[in-house]
């Protein structure tokens, strides 16, 4: 029986975009003994009641080994690259007797087409493959798949809706549906998964706040802003052509288009819709129902202020 056994939890990268939310969600449960692992040169700051453990910037194995002692679970929220740091953390976690590892996933689609189009997903898939090799050593894992972050994706322009200019480009029919999760819900999913260690053992766990289309989001944005948006149209073929012509696969614009085409391209079966296969674990984790109009109104309001 593993139930009830996850008490000591270490969050790695807790000062970042995802980490910050993770820490808050874990604290809210009032069920964990939390520690944060941060790098020597880090600028992250934490409230005084948070236990902080500092290691050198390159996360040396012997320091990780010491830090991971007595931890039941590690929650990683560091950037996907460099890749070898993730592998080292997994190796050391298994040696140190950690029970559960939550890798820095938070987004993966599960089809091969995702790894082909988005190099970061190929890296994440390799990290997952490595994690699976440690099951026999007693290290269990849970991978949280959330699709793209919804509220953050709107605010930051990542989803390609320009709130300031009230402008967007609709790709293909605009009707393809994709699952997407508010960042706070992603964090809540991690906390809830740790409270249900048996049900989430060695599993990808899919969660979403909404499954929507581009046109649905546009309609809600027009409602929330009280104005008609300027809409351009582009085929995914043109977008993918653009991507192929960029020599650097890490070009920021190309990189974003790759992610977006997984959601928006009609012809690409990229498993972005978690409702379709009945994949969602929202119910298992007891995540609250969320309201699309409400969230979009909130994002628009925050953006305006
Ligand atoms: N689905 C989506 O829409 C979406 C969006 C954004 C991110 N993500 C995913 O979420 C995960 C976390 O991303 P994030 O944006 O939250 O990360 P981030 O804010 O860039 O970094 C998180 C933390 O990682 C630590 N860190 C370790 N090595 C670092 C390095 N080389 N450069 C910078 N920071 C480093 C830092 O913590 P300390 O300073 O405390 O050491 C930093 O605060 C990634 O796997 C990413 O792919 C998904
Ligand atoms: C809480 O975690 C810290 C760091 O891992 C550990 O030293 C301490 O013993 C833990 N406290 C309890 C009550 O388990
Ligand atoms: C992440 O995506 C890749 C490529 O689509 C896939 O091979 C891998 O299994 C995914 N990871 C998980 C945990 O599902
Ligand atoms: C969703 O939010 C909108 C706007 O805040 C509100 O008018 C509506 O009643 C809410 N719907 C539900 C089902 O809660």
Nearest partner of 76 among 9, 152, 147, judged by Cα? 9
pLDDT tens digits for range 133-186: 999 999 999 999 999 999 999 999 999 999 999 999 999 999 999 999 999 999
- Check whether the bond before 293 is cis (ω within 30° of 0): no
Report which protein residue has its CA nearest ligand 1's atom 18: 16
Ligand nearest to the CA of 6: 2
pLDDT tens digits for range 277-296: 789 999 999 999 999 999 99
List, edge to edge, every strand of the sheet that includes 161-162. Answer: 161-162, 167-171, 230-234
Q: Which one of 30, 70, 75 would you pick to mutate in the ligand 2 pocket, going by the greatest count of ligand atoms within 8 A of its CB?
A: 70
Token representation of residue 236: 């995914």
**Residue 122: burial class (beta carbons within 10 Å; 0-12, 13-18, 19+):** middle
Ligand 3 centroid to 42 CA: how many Å?
30
Nearest partner of 19 among 49, 48, 3, 42, judged by Cα? 42
Q: What is the pLDDT along the chain (305 residues), one digit of tens a residue?
A: 444 589 999 999 999 999 999 999 999 999 999 999 999 999 999 988 899 999 999 999 999 999 999 999 999 999 998 899 999 999 999 999 999 999 999 987 777 788 888 888 888 999 999 999 999 999 999 999 999 999 999 999 999 999 999 999 999 999 999 999 999 999 999 999 999 999 999 999 999 999 999 999 999 999 999 999 999 999 999 999 998 888 777 788 888 999 999 999 998 888 899 998 789 999 999 999 999 999 999 999 999 98
Residues at CB less than 6 angstroms from ligand 1: 13, 15-19, 38-39, 42, 44, 77-80, 104, 106-107, 146, 148-149, 153
* DSSP 8-state class, residue 287: P
Walk me through the domains of the chain, giving residue ranges and CATH numbers: 8-147+182-206 (3.40.50.720), 149-180+210-272+288-304 (3.90.25.10)
Residues at CB less than 6 angstroms from ligand 2: 8, 33, 35, 70-71
List, edge to edge, every strand of the sheet that includes 148-149. Answer: 148-149, 178-181, 210-212
* DSSP 8-state class, residue 280: B
């Amino acid at each position: 029986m593993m139930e009830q056994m996850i008490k000591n939890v270490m969050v790695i990268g807790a000062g970042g975009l995802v980490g910050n939310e993770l820490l808050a969600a874990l604290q809210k449960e009032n069920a964990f003994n939390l520690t944060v692992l941060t790098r020597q040169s880090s600028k992250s700051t934490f409230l005084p009641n948070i236990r902080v453990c500092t290691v050198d910037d390159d996360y040396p194995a012997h320091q990780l080994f010491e830090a991971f002692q007595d931890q039941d679970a590690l929650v990683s929220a560091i950037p996907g690259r460099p890749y070898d740091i993730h592998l080292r953390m997994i190796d050391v976690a298994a040696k140190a007797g950690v029970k559960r590892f939550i890798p820095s996933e938070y987004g993966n689609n599960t089809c091969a087409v995702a790894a082909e189009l988005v190099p970061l997903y190929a890296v994440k898939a390799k990290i997952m493959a490595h994690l699976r090799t440690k099951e026999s050593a007693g290290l269990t894992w849970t991978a949280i798949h959330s699709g793209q972050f919804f509220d953050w994706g709107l605010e930051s322009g990542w989803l390609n809706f320009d709130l300031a200019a009230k402008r967007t480009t609709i790709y293909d029919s605009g009707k393809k549906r994709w699952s997407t999760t508010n960042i706070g819900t992603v964090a809540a999913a991690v906390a809830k998964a740790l409270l249900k260690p048996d049900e989430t053992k060695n599993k990808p766990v899919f969660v979403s706040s909404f499954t929507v289309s581009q046109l649905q989001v546009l309609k809600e944005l027009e409602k929330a802003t009280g104005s008609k948006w300027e809409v351009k149209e582009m085929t995914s073929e043109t977008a993918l052509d653009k991507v192929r012509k960029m020599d650097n696969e890490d070009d920021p614009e190309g990189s974003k288009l790759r992610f977006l085409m997984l959601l928006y391209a009609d012809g690409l079966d990229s498993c972005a819709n978690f409702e379709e296969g009945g994949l969602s674990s929202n119910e298992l984790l007891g995540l609250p129902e969320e309201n699309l109009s409400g969230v979009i109104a909130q994002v628009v309001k925050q953006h305006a202020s």
